[in-house]
Amino acid sequence: MAAIPDPVQTAYEAAAAQRTLSLPTIPEELRALEADDLRGGAEEPLEAIDASGLIIADENFSELQAAHARFANCFLSCCDFSGSLFTDTVFEGCDFANSYFDSAGFTRCTFKNCKLTGASFMEANLEHVALEDCTLDFGAFNRCRFWAVSATRCDFSGADMAEMELHYVT
């Protein structure tokens, strides 16, 4: 393994110090979200919601909008979130296996201990997103844009990352 020259390492560390990851802001009080509320198709953006323990499969949630939200221990496998927008949202212990996030937008979001095996993020935009202890194996990230994304202890085995844009990834 080749060593990185000191001037290059120093320049990288100086540039990285200027790129801080913006984390989501979540209000202290959140409104509980029931599965039927989500299933019914949210016509208005979901604001300040707490979705815990939802079990939903094979549903269409395309163009869903959620902000200042928390999804914890939810099973949302094989669901379609294409074109959805998530801002200041935390996902903890969720299973999104084989779900679609094509052309979706994520801004200041955190994924912790989530299963995204086989999920599709084609042409999605992830900006200021932290991924920690997540499984993203066999996912599709074609033409996906990562801007200020942090991936810690994540599995991208077998993922398709053709034409993916990476900007300030740590």
Helices (H), the chain: 6-18, 35-39
Domains and CATH numbers, the chain: 47-167 (2.160.20.80)
Rounded CA gap, 124 and 78, in Å?
17
Long-range CB pairs of 108-116 (<8 Å, 24+ gap) are: 108/22, 108/23, 108/24, 108/25, 109/24, 110/23, 110/24
Confidence (pTM): 0.83
Model pLDDT for residues 127-140, shown as the tens digit of each residue = 999 999 999 999 99
Model pLDDT for residues 60-103, shown as the tens digit of each residue = 999 999 999 999 999 999 999 999 999 999 999 999 999 999 99
